[in-house]
Structure 1
């Protein structure tokens, strides 16, 4: 999450011109959720819909974060950490405060495919063991304080050694690096297994972005980017995704003219049969406060209408405080009135009830 501005700046410079090619394989047609292992849609649980992103190293105290999240009308707060002791200690304190307040702390286990020296893990098994060890430590520390939802990795499919061309939408498995694929798969598998070893009933999400169904299908089905099968499968309890304006509308990806459009939550429900969480969403950092406020209102309205029909469990705005007037709703406790008012007004007028 810390590189959001650099990533979006690059994509904005490209004018959103990623290529939406054939989806989920080698064909040139848009995906069809209706014909690909359809499952019954179960409505998302009420009371979990509104969320927001933050960071463990904010200057706010845990009590202040709780008060801010409540004032916003949110029930869920997402932030990342690893097993690094200072990070984990800060998140434990937040977890204690959130548990007492009856709020949900959604923890991203923020490992990458690289070690501390920025060298990619040498094999799938080494990556697996690192992921398992880290996730077990995090879940063991947080479990006693009511944390039961974890996101295993952040935009790993967009790492420079995984995506072959970052301007591609990721709808085809061949968009990804076949040689390095097992390292990413091993890391994700390890994180899921590590969480479950400490908290068997916890729910794990795997995170994707842009239109990376080529990656999500390959992980779920145990295939490689070269089309070979029989590899370890990855199973998650929640599909989590990031969607910024430059990527297109999640209900009609490709509607920006880059290719065939498809409904991402419907596609994921049909293929994976688990709840869909939008764990980061916003417009770009270059937009004005007025534009951002309008975008918040419009997107909230679309997401709210779809939350039951498409099993969208939560939409988590990026972010609470970005340290400037780009993504955040406030700076060091000072409210950015236009986006903040749009955010809180919509939630106040649209309660997440049954």
Structure 2
């Protein structure tokens, strides 16, 4: 618990809202106009082709030099292009900061812009110029925009994506090695493409630009019956029967509890498993094995880590197999230990956010736990747990890569993608990178990349929130989870925690519900069946 609070506190910066340097509203040009505009805007790469066209618009608030000789803005300032095309921008007869080789001055939606020779646009800030795209192109493309269908795609960072002779370009420059591209897609905050053979790929610059995946637009519904879940601990004073009764009263059908391969913890889990088996409920068992050996040192090598993970997981699975446990989460927040992440304030979207030297130990213990469970229960489902926005770690493990970018290492393949999503991490359906970059839909990404169900095994707001805030948060978040469960392959969402011994995280204390958080949870499950 202390480590969790410290971790969440250390990531407070990630919850801050971010501002994009967007620079224009929607345009009203024709499709042909936008095609020309895309060619002009792609000139950031400096190619000759980028200079071939300039966007046009019928917007009455759009005036440009040329053809006009001057522009009067909404404040009465008069803008001119001294020396004509190729000259400098003047305002009220004086140079407007430092400009040269200007091809056009544009007044659009109440803002002054100018275009340089390479097709790069700049917006007047009141004291200087900042780079932007041609504002007449519009803002971020609508979700689901495709090429063909559209002439270009604009992502949340105002990058312009096009396809030329089957090759993908971003701002006029090739992105990775692509050819015979039949479809470029903007979906869930990511750029995807499909080749003529039908294989989809998603753009991820930290792992070689393009990674194989399935069509992210395909809706997948997981099996019903364990969507509403709760976390707990093996050492509660509640009896297993009391836990079952409490969970049923809240509308929960699944429960996550961690344990190690020790007799006192296993005996507690066996009692819970028996009670859950009788009640027809799902017990998700977290195998609490870390990357450290018995002396507190990171495992010396991948083999030693694998052997330890295998032994512990095999022992736990052997003990619980007779009582109907079939879902195991192999490790808890292993990507977020002092040994594995370089900076706790990073979101984890890049493989380079993680410790290259200790990576084999983490990978080894994960592989060992999965294989240890499978050696006992070949049909059991094993999950690997991630935090914040650790897709950099997930992709590297899945592809057998190191944080330094080298490949050819053992792969980690899980049956369920499990994630923790506390409020400070951001909205899981629009999760930002490092607190400053635009968000993307994480469950959609995982659905398409790994092709397995998605399980949020911990979620809550911060420990400092009062119960009124917590109740509202529960209602809002459950609503979002529930709405997306059948399209995003979300198998379950497990609230943290049943009882924390205080009012920091628990939804009850000593058997007494903490309201309005408890009643908010109970009311939502009653009104929204898991079917």
- The CA deviation string for residues 86-118 of structure 1, in whole angstroms up to 9 with x for no partner, is 111111111011111111100000111012332
**8 Å Cα contact 2:457/2:495 also seen in 1:** yes
Residues 151 and 113 (structure 1), Cα distance of their counterparts in 2 relative to 1, 3 Å cut: same
User: What is the alpha-carbon distance in structure 2 between the residues aligned to residue 134 and residue 18 of structure 1?
Assistant: 42
Q: Does 1:315 align with 2:508?
A: no
Question: TM-score, normalised on structure 1?
Answer: 0.93
User: What is the alpha-carbon distance in structure 1 between the residues aligned to residue 191 and residue 470 of structure 2?
Assistant: 32
- The CA deviation string for residues 274-301 of structure 1, in whole angstroms up to 9 with x for no partner, is 0000000000001111000000000000
User: What is the alpha-carbon distance in structure 2 between the residues aligned to residue 87 and residue 333 of structure 1?
Assistant: 22
Q: Which secondary structure does the structure 2 equivalent of 1:254 belong to?
A: strand
**8 Å Cα contact 1:53/1:77 also seen in 2:** yes
Alignment of 1:160-239 (within 5 A): 160-239=338-417
User: What is the alpha-carbon distance in structure 1 between the residues aligned to residue 374 and residue 428 of structure 2?
Assistant: 30
Alignment of 1:328-347 (within 5 A): 328-347=506-525
Residues 255 and 185 (structure 1), Cα distance of their counterparts in 2 relative to 1, 3 Å cut: closer
Greater relative contact order: 1 or 2 (C-alpha under 8 angstroms, separation 6 or more)?
1
* 2:214 corresponds to: 38
Residues 187 and 17 (structure 1), Cα distance of their counterparts in 2 relative to 1, 3 Å cut: farther
- The CA deviation string for residues 212-267 of structure 1, in whole angstroms up to 9 with x for no partner, is 00000000000000111100001100000000010000000129962121000000
* 2:314 corresponds to: 136
1:4 Cα shift?
2.0
Residues 115 and 33 (structure 1), Cα distance of their counterparts in 2 relative to 1, 3 Å cut: farther
Where structure 1 has 5 or more consecutive residues not aligned to the other structure, the ranges are: none
Residues 100 and 2 (structure 1), Cα distance of their counterparts in 2 relative to 1, 3 Å cut: farther
Q: Does 1:3 align with 2:3?
A: yes
1:79 Cα shift?
0.7
User: What is the alpha-carbon distance in structure 2 between the residues aligned to residue 231 and residue 75 of structure 1?
Assistant: 38
* 1:78 corresponds to: 256
Bigger helix share: 1
User: What is the alpha-carbon distance in structure 2 between the residues aligned to residue 70 and residue 164 of structure 1?
Assistant: 41
1:16 Cα shift?
3.1
* 2:15 corresponds to: 16
User: What is the alpha-carbon distance in structure 2 between the residues aligned to residue 163 and residue 31 of structure 1?
Assistant: 24
- The CA deviation string for residues 151-192 of structure 1, in whole angstroms up to 9 with x for no partner, is 000110011111011110000000011111000000000000
* 1:102 corresponds to: 280
* 1:52 corresponds to: 230
Q: Which secondary structure does the structure 1 equivalent of 2:375 belong to?
A: helix
**8 Å Cα contact 1:244/1:284 also seen in 2:** yes
Aligned residue-pair number = 345
Q: Does 1:258 align with 2:417?
A: no
**8 Å Cα contact 2:347/2:435 also seen in 1:** no
Q: CA RMSD in A?
A: 2.0
User: What is the alpha-carbon distance in structure 1 between the residues aligned to residue 191 and residue 329 of structure 2?
Assistant: 27
User: What is the alpha-carbon distance in structure 1 between the residues aligned to residue 475 and residue 372 of structure 2?
Assistant: 38
**8 Å Cα contact 2:346/2:434 also seen in 1:** no
Q: Does 1:289 align with 2:288?
A: no
Question: TM-score, normalised on structure 2?
Answer: 0.63
Q: Which secondary structure does the structure 2 equivalent of 1:3 belong to?
A: helix
Q: Which secondary structure does the structure 2 equivalent of 1:150 belong to?
A: strand
1:10 Cα shift?
2.6
- The CA deviation string for residues 184-219 of structure 1, in whole angstroms up to 9 with x for no partner, is 000000000000001000000000010000000000
User: What is the alpha-carbon distance in structure 2 between the residues aligned to residue 158 and residue 296 of structure 1?
Assistant: 25
Between Structure 1 and Structure 2, whose CA radius of gyration is higher? 2
**8 Å Cα contact 2:461/2:473 also seen in 1:** yes
**8 Å Cα contact 2:15/2:435 also seen in 1:** no
